[in-house]
């Protein structure tokens, strides 16, 4: 299924200078989010906090939204890795993604930063959509199926269910919820393959 969470590293992805710059930019944005609203943070403030220049920023990201997206994707990958989940095949991938979203929402809501106040759907749903699009590249659908729409539908369904889970007092464990989400979302994919 989704290769983005376990893909082979490219030369660019392992160059220590590139990794260092990206890490510094993400850490700078994270630090600024503890003090300011995302909308009020400028690219200049991010690069000043990271002690880098604007050219370096734009070498890696087209804008601060792309940086936020990269930061979200990195956190999501870390959560998946911490759980020891793998995407070597489709079996269990949907449950692993649902579990990752549950973990992401639980951790983000618990953090004392501006990130907890941001609309979470804007940060995690695009990441999950990309995961599904990359998985779909390995599983061709019938010509009448819009795979991007399928990924968006599944991403929103997972996010909505995970958000509802998070807001439920006395909720079940994240693992139990991920199994329920898998059970409800899997038919979306099965109906598209016919």
Give 128's contacts (C-beta < 8 A, 6+ positions apart): 76, 97, 101, 151, 154, 155, 158, 159
Q: Is residue 90 in some structural domain?
A: yes
Q: Is residue 5 in some structural domain?
A: no
Q: What's residue 90's pLDDT? A: 66
pLDDT > 60? residue 4: no
Look-up: residue for tokens 């979200």? Answer: 72
Q: Is residue 6 in some structural domain?
A: no
Q: What's residue 84's pLDDT? A: 72
Q: Name, of 63-72, 114-123, 133-142, the range with top average pLDDT.
A: 63-72
Write out the H or E segment, with its range, that includes residue 134. helix 121-136
Q: What's residue 5's pLDDT? A: 45
Q: Which is it for the CA torsion 126, 131, 134, 136, positive or negative?
A: negative
Span 140-152, average pLDDT: 84
Give the domain CATH number at 72. 1.10.357.10
Q: Is residue 1 in some structural domain?
A: no
pTM: 0.72
User: pLDDT of 76-129, one tens digit each?
Assistant: 878 877 777 665 556 678 888 899 899 888 887 554 344 444 556 677 888 888
Domain count, the chain: 1
The pLDDT mean for the chain works out to 81
Q: 136 lies in which domain range?
A: 11-192
pLDDT > 50? residue 75: yes
Closest C-alpha among 54, 52, 62, 1 to residue 27: 52
User: pLDDT of 44-59, one tens digit each?
Assistant: 999 999 999 999 999 9
Cα distance between residue 133 and residue 144, in whole Å: 16
Look-up: residue for tokens 């269990």? Answer: 92
């Amino acid at each position: 299924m989704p290769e983005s969470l376990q893909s082979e590293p490219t030369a660019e992805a392992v160059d220590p200078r590139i990794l260092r710059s990206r890490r510094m930019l993400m850490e700078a944005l994270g630090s600024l989010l503890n003090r300011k609203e995302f909308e009020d943070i400028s690219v200049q403030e991010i690069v000043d906090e990271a002690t880098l220049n604007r050219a370096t920023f734009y070498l890696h990201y087209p804008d601060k939204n792309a940086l936020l997206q990269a930061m979200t994707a990195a956190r999501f990958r870390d959560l998946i890795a911490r759980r020891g989940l793998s995407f070597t095949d489709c079996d269990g991938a949907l449950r692993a993604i649902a579990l990752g979203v549950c973990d992401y929402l639980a951790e983000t809501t618990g953090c004392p930063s501006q990130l907890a106040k941001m609309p979470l759907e804007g940060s995690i749903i695009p990441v999950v959509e990309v995961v599904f699009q990359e998985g779909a590249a390995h599983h061709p659908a019938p010509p009448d199926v819009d795979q991007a729409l399928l990924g968006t539908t599944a991403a929103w369904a997972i996010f909505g269910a995970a958000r509802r889970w998070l807001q439920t007092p006395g909720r079940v464990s994240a693992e139990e919820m991920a199994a329920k989400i898998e059970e409800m979302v899997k038919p979306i994919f099965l109906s598209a393959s016919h």
